[in-house]
Structure 1
Amino acid sequence: MVSSVVLFVFTLSSVCGLAVAERKLAYVTVLFRHGDRSPIKAYPTDPYRESDWPQGFGQLSQEGMRQHLDLGKFLRSRYEGFLNESYNRHEILVRSTDYDRTLMSAEANLAGLYPPSGQQVFTPDLKWQPIPVHTVPSNEERLLSYPLKDCPRYKQLINETEHTEEFANVTAAYKDLIELVRNKTGLNKTDVESVWSVYDTLFCESRHNKTAPEWVTPDVMAKLRILKDFGFQVIFGLYKQQEKSRLQGGILLGEIVKNLSKMAAPDSKQQLKLMMLSAHDTTVAALQASLNVFSGIQPPYASCHIIELYREDNGSASVSMFYRNDSTVEPYPLQLPGCALDCPLEDFVRITKLSISDDRDKECQLPSEGRDKEVIISLAMAGILLIILIVLLLAVICWQKEPTGQQGYRHVVNQETGDES
C-alpha cells in the first residue's frame, strides 16, 4: 500500500514537473517609473527655490539612482538563465521619455542588469558599460507620456468627471484643506487636481530632510495624499474609465499586445527578449487603468509593472503580470479581470481589445463636431446635385426653343470678300 502511494506521488510530481517544464518564458516587457527626484517646481511661498537642489528641479537624486541600480539587480536575478549574462544588443531594447530623470533611471537600471564581465570590461576600475537608451523629443512622444493633451473628447470626459457626484463630494469634504492650501501657498487657483503639485513638492522636500512650514502638519500631509491619489483616479478612472483608456493608456497597451502576439508566433525568429520602458507615475497608472488593474494609488518611485509571455510546447501562449512597488518584497501578481493569473494569450488579446482604439483620432473628435461635419458634407452634396439639376433644366429649355422648321433671316458671310450681305 505504501509503495503504491509513493509511486502515485512520484508519478504526480513527474507530471507536474513536466507541465512546468513545458511552460517556457519567451518575452518580457517592463515599464517602470523613474527614481527619487527633486520637486518639479516650487509654490509661490515655498522657502526652497531651485538653487537649493543639487541639479535643480525635476532631477534624479542619488537615492533615485540607487533605487534603479537595485531594480536592475533584481531583474538580473529574476531573469537569470533567460537573459544572456553579458549584454547582447539583440536581446534588449530600452525606450525612455525625453526627461533627464527617466533617461538616467534607465541607465542606472542597466548598470545593475548588465554589469560588464570578460571582454565587455573596457576599463578595469569601472563596473559599468554604456548601453543605448532610445527616446524621442517630448513634443513627439505619444507612447510613454500621459495624459496626452491632443484629444478634445478626453478633455470633455475630464469636464464630465468634474461634474460627477463623487467629485463634488470629495471637493466638499476637503473644501477647508483646499482653502488652507490657497492661503498658505500663495497660489491663485487651488482645486482637487492642483493640490497634487503642492503635495509633490512637500513630499520631495520631506524625503530630503528639508524643514516643512508650520502649517504642514502630518494631518495636512495625509489629507493631501488622499487628494493626490484621487487626482490620479480623476485622470484615468472614476468616470467612463474604459473610454478614457482608449484615448490614453490604451495606446501603450495596444503596442504591448501587438508585440506579445508577434513574439508568440510559432515561426517567430525575433531575438528580442526584454522591452524596457522608462517613464513616469502617470504612465504606469495609465497602463494599469487600461488593464483595469489600477489600485487608485500613485505608483511610487521605481515601481515596475512586469508583463511576461510564456510559450507552451503545444504551440499555445499565456501572459502573466506582476507589480513591484516595494523593494523589500517580491512582486505580487496582477490578474486581468475576466482571466486567469496565467492568462491565455488569445483571452488576453480579446479582453484588452475593449481598451484599445482602432482609430483614436476619430474617437477624439467631439460628438457635436462629428455631427457638424456630417451636416456640412450633406449640404455640400445637396448643393452639387442642385447645381446639376439647374444645368440640366436650362439645357432642356434651350433645346426646346431651338426652331425645327424654316430658318429666319441670317447674316451670310461672303467667303471671297468677307463682307456681310
Structure 2
Amino acid sequence: MATGRCPSSGSPLRIIPVLLGLVLVTAPLAQARQLRFVTLVYRHGDRSPVKTYPNDAHRESAWPQGFGQLTQIGMRQHWDLGQELRHRYKGFLNESYSRHEIYVRSTDIDRTLMSAEANLAGLYPPAGSQVFNPNISWQPIPVDTVPDSRDRLLKYPILPCPKYLQLQEETRHSSEYIKKTKDNLEFLQMVANETGLSDCSLESVWSISDILFCEKTHNMSLPSWATPEVRARLSDLKDFSFRFLFGIHKQVQKARLQGGVLVHQILKNMAAAHNTSNELKLIAYSAHDTTVGALQMALDVYNGKQAPYASCHIFELFEEGPGNFTVEMYFRNESGNPPYPLTLPGCDHTCPFQDFQRLLQPVIAENWEKECQIGDTTSDTRVIIGLVACGCILLLLVALLLTVLLRQKSQPAGYHHVSDALEEQT
C-alpha cells in the first residue's frame, strides 16, 4: 500500500511563500496620491454699489461706508469661505498659520483687501501661542498688493493695450453685438429715460443692474419701473457685457492679452511647486468678477454668468507618483455647497500637468507688450534722455557764445601808449 510522503524542508512548496513574503517586505511601497499645491482666485464679498444713477432715490449717504465698500454680509461670506477652505484642506495646511505655506495677494481696492482679511480670519482662527488677545478670535496675516497703475495680474481689463481696444471695436461690429443692440434698443431707451442717464448702452447698462441688485439685497425700496421682469432682463444684459469684455469675438486673441496673463502665472507657480523643497502650499488671489471672468474665458470654462460674491475658482495640483503630476479644477459659487468640478476642454477632469500646460499655450503671450502693440518704452525713454542731453549741451554752448560776445562788446578801451613826441606837442 502506497504511503503519503511529506515534503522535505527544502521542498519548493515551502520556499514559494517564503519568497513571496520577502518580496512584499522588501518591495518599495507605492506612493499614495497626494495634494501638493493649491491656487485660489476669488471674488470679493457683498458690497455697496460702485456708483448711482441721477434719478436714484438712494444716495451714497444711504450706505454706511459709501460706494464700492465691503458690507457686513460680504465679511461674513468670506469668513464662511475661509471656514470651508479650512475643512477642505484639513491635514494639508497647518492648523495654525505659517507664513512659509501661504501667500495672499489682492488688488489695491478696499473691498478685496478686506475680503482677503475676512477669509484668512476664517481659515486661520488663532490658537495657542498665536492668540495675542483672549477676547479676539483673530490674528493679523499679511496680504500683499501693488498699486492699480502697476497691476497687470489681477485688475481686468488690463490697460493700456491698444490691440485689445482694437479687438473690442471689432466686437462692436460683430453680428451678435449688433443683433443684441437692435433687440434691446427700445428697452435701453426706457432705462435711460427712467434713470436720467444721457446714454445707456450694452456696455454701460451693467451698472443699473448692479445698483438695483445691491439695493434689493439690502432691503431698500426700488422704483416702480424696476419690476422683476425688468431686473431679469437687465441681469441678462449685464452677463452679455461680461462676455463682451473677454469673448464673443476672437476670444483666444483677447485671452492672450487679458486672462491668459493670470493663467501663465498660475502655471509657473504650479511648475515651481514640483520642487519638493518648496514649502509654499497655497496661493490666494483676492480680486473681482472681471478677474474670475477673464480667467475662466481664457480657460474656456466660463458658464456665461457673472461670478457671484465670494465665488472661488480652485486649482489643485496632485502628485500621483514620482514626477507624475495632475491638475483638477473646481468652482465654488454658492455658500454652503461643495464646489463643482470644472474640466479643461480637451482633457479629463484629472488632467496630466503636461497636457494642462500644452492645452493652454494658445492663450499665453510670450511678449505681452509686443502683442498689445505697446511701444518700447525703454527705447523711447533712452531717445528722450538723449535728446534732452543734446538740447542741454546746445543751450550751454549758445549761452557760452553769447557771454563771450557780450563781454567783447562791453569791454572798455584799454591802455594805449602815447608817444613822447605827441605828449610834448600837447
Length-normalised TM-score, structure 1: 0.81
- Pair 327,20 (structure 1): closer, same or farther in 2 beyond 3 Å: farther
1:132-151 matched pairs, under 5 angstroms = 132-151=142-161
For the structure 1 residues 55 and 357, does the alpha-carbon distance in structure 2 shift closer, same or farther, using more than 3 Å as the test? same
Q: The residue matched to 1:231 in structure 2 has which SS?
A: helix
Q: Secondary structure at the match of 1:333?
A: strand
Contact preservation (8 Å) 1:39, 1:200: yes
Alignment of 1:335-354 (within 5 A): 335-354=343-362
> Is 1:101 aligned to 2:101, yes or no?
no
- Measure the CA separation in 1 of the matches of 2:243 and 2:351: 26
Check if 1:85 corresponds to 2:95.
Answer: yes
Summarize the alignment of residues 20-419 of structure 1 with structure 2, pairs less than 5 Å apart.
22-265=32-275, 268-365=276-373
**Separation of aligned partners in 2, 1:297 and 1:141:** 25
Distance (whole Å) between structure 2 residues aligned to residue 364 and residue 211 of structure 1: 45
SS in 2 for 1:71: helix
The residue identity in structure 2 corresponding to 1:26 is R
Q: Deviations over 1:296-339 (max 9, x none)?
A: 11000000000000112232101000000011321000000001
Cα distance, 1:149 vs structure 2: 2.1
Which 4+ residue blocks in structure 1 deviate beyond 4 angstroms? 18-21
Q: 1:152 to 1:118 in 2, by over 3 A?
A: same
The amino acid that maps onto 1:238 is I
Q: Is the 8 A contact 1:281 1:299 kept in 2?
A: yes
SS in 1 for 2:285: strand
Name the residue aligned to 2:415. none
- TM-score, normalization: structure 2? 0.80
- Residue 312 of structure 2 aligns to which amino acid in structure 1? C
Shift of 1:287: 0.6
* Shift, 1:23, TM fit: 1.4
1:8 alignment partner in structure 2: none
Partner Cα separation in structure 1 for residue 144 and residue 241 of structure 2: 30
Q: Is the 8 A contact 2:31 2:321 kept in 1?
A: no
Question: In 2, Cα distance between the equivalents of 1:175 and 1:211?
Answer: 27
Q: Secondary structure at the match of 2:202?
A: coil
Q: Aligned to 1:320, what secondary structure does the other structure show?
A: strand
- In the TM superposition, what whole-angstrom CA distance separates every residue of 1:155-176 from its partner, at most 9, and x where no partner exists? 0111111111111111111112
AA in 2 matched with 1:189: D
- Measure, in 2, the Cα distance between the counterparts of 1:119 and 1:82: 21
Shift of 1:19: 11
- Counterpart contact for 1:68–1:105, Cα < 8 Å: yes
Query: 2: distance between equivalents of 1:320 and 1:264?
Result: 15
* Distance in 2 (alpha carbons) for counterparts of 1:99 and 1:117: 30
SS in 1 for 2:290: helix
Distance 1:112 1:241, change over 3 A: same
Q: Compute the displacement of 1:33 (Å).
A: 0.2
Q: CA–CA distance in 2 between the matches of 1:44 and 1:345?
A: 51
Letter paired with 2:107: T
CA distance in 1, matches of 2:321, 2:202: 52
Across the two proteins, how many residue pairs are aligned to each other? Answer: 349
Residues 96/160 of structure 1: CA separation in 2 closer, same or farther (3 Å cut)? same
The 3-state SS of whatever aligns with 1:31 is strand
Identity %: 56
Q: Please give the alpha-carbon distance, in whole angstroms, between the structure 2 residues aligned to 1:73 and 1:20.
A: 33
For residue 20 of structure 1, report the CA deviation from its aligned partner: 10
User: Given residue 71 of structure 1, which amino acid in structure 2 is its aligned partner?
Assistant: L
In 1, the alpha carbon distance for the partners of 2:197 and 2:367 equals 39
Residues 293 and 126 (structure 1), Cα distance of their counterparts in 2 relative to 1, 3 Å cut: same
Which structure's CA Rg is the greater one? 2
Unaligned runs of 5+ in 1: 1-17, 371-421
1:21 CA drift (Å): 6.4
The alignment partner of 2:144 has SS state of coil
Matching residue of 2:23: none
Distance in 1 of aligned mates of 2:242 and 2:304: 7
Deviation at 1:273, TM superposition (A): 0.3
- Relative to structure 2, which stretch is displaced further, 173-182 or 31-40? 173-182
Equivalent position amino acid for 2:355 in 1: D
2:70 aligned counterpart, secondary structure = coil
Q: Supply the distance in 1 between the matched residues of 2:323 and 2:148 (Cα, whole angstroms).
A: 40
Contact 1:69–1:109 under 8 Å retained in 2: yes
Equivalent position amino acid for 1:147 in 2? P
Q: CA deviation at 1:22?
A: 2.1
Q: 1:235 to 1:129 in 2, by over 3 A?
A: same
Paired with 2:204 and 2:30, the residues of 1 have a C-alpha distance of 50
Which residues of structure 2 form unaligned runs of 5+?
1-27, 377-426
Conserved 8 A contact 1:264-1:309:
no
